[in-house]
């Protein structure tokens, strides 16, 4: 086993990996940018090296600086976490060239899965079911028209190098195809420097379900069960659960077997995830493979009892998988809430700043993977993910109850977070009945009253409103840091005070503290 590992990441995932290393007696090396000196991963690691200024392109994305820190510290391996360099084949190659083990797949597997069209070609050969369409970039508009006619509208145009919804267009009819193709191409060129676009049949209101796989370097590959990731916003996952309520044991086994086939076709090693789109008839189609540890890996850990980061380290150190497929049993139910620094009063726009108060939940069935602490300044430069709150229960209903109880205890002040959103999702009757697809969250938000977030019944809300009114007054009386007239309003534009004087008063009250 390695004696020292460098973690090329920050935030909650860096802390999560540092914890696994400490459990296994492995020394840890953190890297950090100028604004992350006070970040939790720097405080929790055994060694820490400054790698540059705040912008990720000058620090966390700098292969040379990270390799330099690894050499200086004598780290034998690098864990990339997720995001940043985790799916960058050149970084994995750079590690190999420097004699440092990259904890993840080989550069070859990463390159194969990195391009969506080359992945489709490979899977076509391996006989994996995928969404009907082309496996090569479109050469002309006429070719696009011919393919679309053959598979039938609606179709989806997608960028080969794509991700995050960029270069993606839903096309309902032939009339729309030409302009959609042009705009998808130019967006793909701008976003990825590659204008290649291909066609897929559009699956309307699909579910997004993915399968976790683990492969060692001795040819053994196992699947660890699926995760339902249909609760999304702006193509970003918000809440994930395992197992998926729509997947039965037979479907799970079939998906698992396909996922293993995908991994083997790519000569895949270490932890990876095969993503599927699932239509309402339970047909599943290969979407892509994520060649890294996923944000939502804890729900799989809770339902299988395996520690994926421990296993990643053991596989990278050359050990054989300690479990066979028959040892994998999915038990209980786990749901993860991604706690983002986002403003629910401003369309969930990021909300960085200083955390002035932090009350954190614990208790039965609750796991919290967090990168924040009270007094910490959340920087403006990175992803807004602060923490993950995961609830576990013997069944889905109990997992939901435990999470709602834990969210009741969770409170962050100083910045805005999306904690209130999860109370709404978990209290929603469609969610509770597992009637979800990728459009669920947008539909739920469209019917919301922005100034109240509550899952309480109508008549109880009246009482709670009265309590809120009394409490606002009591805070003003008992705590002089909030004087009347200094308060804001829901919208911020029709408030009781001009912004400048409020700002001045806020400044004054800061000095009173």
Partner 1 sequence: MIYEVIVAGKTHRLELEATASGGWQCRLDGQTVEIDALIPRRDVLSLLVNGRSYEVKREKTATDLHMWVGSSRFAVELRDPRSLRSRLHAAANDKGPKKIVAPMPGRIVRVLVEEGSEVLAGQGLVVVEAMKMQNEIKSPKKGIVKKISATVGAAVNPGDVLGIVE
Q: Which of residues 399-438 bind partner 1 (CB under 8 A)?
A: 404, 407-408, 411, 413-416, 420, 423
Nearest-angstrom CA–CA distance, 301 and 303:
6
Q: Does 170 bind partner 1 (CB under 8 A)?
A: no
The CB-of-310 to partner 1 minimum distance in angstroms stands at 31
Residue of the chain from 34, 143, 194, 343 that contacts partner 1 (CB under 8 A): 343
The CB-of-91 to partner 1 minimum distance in angstroms stands at 20
Q: Does 465 bind partner 1 (CB under 8 A)?
A: yes
Contact assessment for residue 337 and residue 388, using Cβ atoms and an 8 Å cutoff: yes
The CB-of-512 to partner 1 minimum distance in angstroms stands at 13
Q: Which stretch binds partner 1 (CB under 8 A): 4-12, 123-131, 272-280, 456-464?
A: 456-464
Contact assessment for residue 454 and residue 464, using Cβ atoms and an 8 Å cutoff: yes
Number of chain positions touching partner 1 (CB under 8 A): 73
What binding mask, one character per residue, do residues 353-392 give for partner 1 by CB under 8 A, x or -?
x--xx-x--------------------xxxxx--------
Q: Does 500 bind partner 1 (CB under 8 A)?
A: yes
Q: Does 448 bind partner 1 (CB under 8 A)?
A: no
Residue 322, beta-bridge partner list: none
The CB-of-176 to partner 1 minimum distance in angstroms stands at 27
CA nearest 286: which of 161, 200, 345?
Answer: 200
Nearer to partner 1, 172 or 471 (CB): 471
Q: Which two tokens stand for residue 271?
A: 């932890």
| H-helix or E-strand spanning residue 436 | none
Q: Does 454 bind partner 1 (CB under 8 A)?
A: yes
Q: Does 350 bind partner 1 (CB under 8 A)?
A: yes
Residue of the chain from 115, 117, 195, 351 that contacts partner 1 (CB under 8 A): 351
Q: Does 345 bind partner 1 (CB under 8 A)?
A: yes
Residue 211, beta-bridge partner list: 226, 274
Q: How many CB atoms lie within 10 A of CB 128?
A: 19
Q: Which two tokens stand for residue 45?
A: 């690691």
CA nearest 246: which of 275, 211, 278?
Answer: 278
Residue 412, beta-bridge partner list: 358
Nearest-angstrom CA–CA distance, 263 and 105:
10
The CB-of-166 to partner 1 minimum distance in angstroms stands at 13
Spell out where 4-136 has E strands: 4-7, 27-33, 47-52, 77-79, 101-102
Nearer to partner 1, 139 or 478 (CB): 478
Q: Does 489 bind partner 1 (CB under 8 A)?
A: yes
Cα dihedral 172, 173, 176, 180 sign: positive
Give the strand order in the sheet containing 270-278. 284-290, 270-278, 207-215, 221-233, 236-242, 333-340, 385-393, 366-370
List the interface residues with partner 1, window 105-144 (CB under 8 A).
none
Mutual angle of helices 396-409 and 419-427, in 10-degree steps: 150
Nearer to partner 1, 141 or 475 (CB): 475
Nearest-angstrom CA–CA distance, 299 and 239:
10
Q: Give the total residue count for the chain.
A: 513
Q: Does 175 bind partner 1 (CB under 8 A)?
A: no
List the interface residues with partner 1, window 293-322 (CB under 8 A).
none
Q: Does 488 bind partner 1 (CB under 8 A)?
A: yes
Contact assessment for residue 406 and residue 391, using Cβ atoms and an 8 Å cutoff: yes
The CB-of-210 to partner 1 minimum distance in angstroms stands at 23
Active-site residues, by number, are 292
The CB-of-8 to partner 1 minimum distance in angstroms stands at 18
Residue of the chain from 395, 479, 511, 512 that contacts partner 1 (CB under 8 A): 479
Cα dihedral 419, 423, 425, 426 sign: positive
Q: Does 466 bind partner 1 (CB under 8 A)?
A: yes
| H-helix or E-strand spanning residue 147 | helix 141-151
Q: Which stretch binds partner 1 (CB under 8 A): 173-181, 256-264, 437-445, 471-479?
A: 471-479
Nearer to partner 1, 280 or 492 (CB): 492
Q: Does 326 bind partner 1 (CB under 8 A)?
A: no
Q: Does 468 bind partner 1 (CB under 8 A)?
A: yes
Q: Does 166 bind partner 1 (CB under 8 A)?
A: no
Distances (CA, A) of 319 to 13, 99, 269, 440: 23, 18, 12, 42
Q: How many CB atoms lie within 10 A of CB 470?
A: 10
Q: Does 269 bind partner 1 (CB under 8 A)?
A: no
């Amino acid at each position: 086993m390695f004696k020292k590992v460098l973690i090329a990441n920050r935030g909650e995932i860096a802390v999560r990996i540092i914890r696994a290393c400490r459990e296994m007696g492995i020394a840890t090396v953190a890297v950090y940018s100028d604004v992350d000196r006070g970040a939790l991963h720097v405080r929790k690691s055994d060694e820490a090296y400054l790698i540059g200024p705040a912008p990720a392109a000058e620090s966390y994305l700098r292969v040379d600086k990270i390799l330099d820190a690894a050499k200086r510290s004598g780290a034998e391996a690098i864990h990339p976490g997720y995001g940043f360099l985790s799916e960058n084949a050149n970084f994995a190659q750079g590690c190999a060239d420097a004699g440092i083990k990259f904890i993840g797949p080989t550069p070859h597997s990463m390159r194969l899965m990195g391009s969506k069209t080359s992945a489709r070609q490979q899977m076509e050969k391996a006989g994996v079911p995928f969404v009907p369409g082309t496996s090569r970039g479109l050469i002309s508009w006429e070719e696009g028209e011919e393919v679309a006619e053959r598979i039938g509208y609606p179709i989806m145009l997608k960028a080969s190098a794509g991700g995050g919804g960029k270069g993606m267009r839903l096309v309902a009819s032939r009339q729309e195809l030409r302009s959609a193709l042009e705009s998808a191409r130019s967006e793909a060129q701008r976003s990825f420097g590659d204008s290649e676009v291909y066609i897929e049949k559009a699956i309307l209101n699909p579910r997004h379900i993915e399968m976790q796989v683990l492969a060692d370097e001795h040819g053994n590959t196992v699947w660890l069960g699926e995760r339902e990731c249909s609760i999304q916003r702006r193509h970003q996952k918000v809440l994930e659960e395992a197992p998926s309520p729509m997947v039965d044991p037979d479907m799970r086994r079939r998906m698992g077997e396909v996922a293993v086939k995908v991994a083997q076709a790519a000569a895949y090693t270490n932890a990876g995830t095969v993503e599927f789109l699932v239509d309402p008839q339970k047909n599943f189609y290969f979407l892509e493979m994520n060649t890294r540890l996923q944000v939502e890996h804890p729900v799989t850990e809770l339902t299988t009892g395996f520690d994926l980061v421990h296993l990643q380290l053991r596989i990278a150190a050359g050990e054989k998988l300690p479990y066979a497929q028959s040892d994998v049993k999915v038990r209980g139910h786990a749901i993860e809430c991604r706690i983002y620094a986002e403003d629910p009063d401003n369309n969930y726009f990021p909300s960085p700043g200083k955390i002035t108060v932090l009350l954190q939940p614990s208790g039965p069935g609750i796991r919290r993977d967090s990168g924040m602490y009270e007094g910490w300044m959340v920087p403006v430069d990175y992803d807004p993910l602060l923490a993950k709150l995961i609830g576990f229960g013997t069944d889905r209903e109990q997992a939901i109850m435990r999470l709602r109880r834990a969210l009741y205890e969770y409170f962050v002040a100083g910045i805005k977070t999306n904690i209130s959103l999860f109370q709404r999702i978990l209290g929603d009757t469609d969610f509770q009945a597992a009637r979800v697809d990728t459009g669920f969250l947008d539909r739920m938000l469209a019917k919301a009253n922005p100034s109240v977030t509550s899952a309480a019944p109508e008549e109880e809300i009246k009482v709670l409103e009265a309590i809120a009114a009394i409490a606002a007054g009591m805070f003003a009386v008992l705590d002089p840091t909030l004087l009347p007239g200094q308060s804001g309003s829901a919208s911020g534009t029709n408030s009781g005070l001009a912004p400048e004087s409020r700002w001045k008063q806020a400044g004054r009250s800061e000095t009173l503290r």
